[in-house]
Amino acid sequence: MIAVKGVDGLRIAVLGLGRSGLIAARALRAGGAEPVCWDDNPAARDKAEAEGFATSDLSRPGAFEGIASLIVSPGIPHLYPQPNPVIAAALDEGIPVDNDIGLFFRSVGETDWSDYEVEPKVVTVTGSNGKSTTSALIHHVLTAAGRESQLAGNIGRGVLDIDPPGDGGVVVLELSSYQTDLARALTPDVAVFTNLSPDHLDRHAGLGGYFAAKRRLFAEGGPDRAVIGVDEMEGRYLANQMAEGPGDDRVIRVSSARKLTGAGWLVYARKGFLTEWRKSRQVGSIDLREVMGLPGAHNHQNACAAYAACRTLGLAPRAIETAFHSFGGLPHRSQTIAEHGGVRYVNDSKATNVDSAAKALEAFTRIRWICGGLEKEGGLEGLLPSTKSVLKAYVIGREAAQFAVQLRGVESEVCTDMATAVARASAEAEPGDTVLLAPAAASFDQYDSFERRGEDFTAQVAKVTAGG
pLDDT tens digits, 338-385: 999 999 999 999 999 898 899 899 989 999 999 999 987 778 989 999
- Superfamily of chain region 11-98: NAD(P)-binding Rossmann-like Domain (3.40.50.720)
- Tell whether residue 334 is among the known ligand binding residues: no
The CA dihedral of 126, 129, 135, 141, to the nearest 10 degrees, is -130
Element of type H or E holding 303: helix 296-312
CA-based nearest residue to 332, from 450, 431, 427, 435: 450
Given this chain, do its domains 11-98 and 113-325 carry the same CATH topology? no
The mean pLDDT value for 6-23 works out to: 96
**pLDDT of 271:** 92
3-state secondary structure of 357: helix
User: Domain extents for the chain?
Assistant: 11-98, 113-325, 335-465
Which amino acid belongs to residue 284?
A: G
191 phi, psi to nearest 5 deg: -120, 135
Q: Is the pLDDT of residue 468 over 90?
A: no
CA distance 50 to 45: 9
**pLDDT of 378:** 75
- Strand intervals (E) in 200-333: 225-229, 251-255, 265-270, 273-278, 281-287
Mean of pLDDT over the chain: 95
- Tell whether residue 130 is among the known ligand binding residues: yes
- Tell whether residue 463 is among the known ligand binding residues: no
- Tell whether residue 127 is among the known ligand binding residues: yes
The mean pLDDT value for 456-464 works out to: 97
- Tell whether residue 353 is among the known ligand binding residues: no
CA distance 370 to 312: 39
CB atoms within 10 A of CB 329: 20
Q: Which residue has the higher pLDDT, 156 or 207?
A: 207
What class has domain 113-325?
alpha beta
Burial classification of residue 110, based on how many CB atoms lie within 10 Å of its CB (0-12 exposed, 13-18 middle, 19 or more buried): exposed
pLDDT above 70 covers a percentage of the chain that reads 100
pLDDT above 90 covers a percentage of the chain that reads 85
**pLDDT of 297:** 86
The mean pLDDT value for 292-302 works out to: 89
Burial classification of residue 366, based on how many CB atoms lie within 10 Å of its CB (0-12 exposed, 13-18 middle, 19 or more buried): middle
CA distance 244 to 137: 29
**pLDDT of 467:** 65
Which one is the CATH code of 335-465: 3.90.190.20, 3.40.50.10240, 3.90.1420.10, 3.40.50.300?
Answer: 3.90.190.20
Which amino acid belongs to residue 23?
A: I
Instruction: Supply the pTM of this predicted model.
Output: 0.86
Contact indicator for 289, 272 with CB cutoff of 8 Å? yes
**pLDDT of 29:** 98
Q: Is the pLDDT of residue 292 over 90?
A: no
Preceding peptide of 83 cis, ω within 30°: no
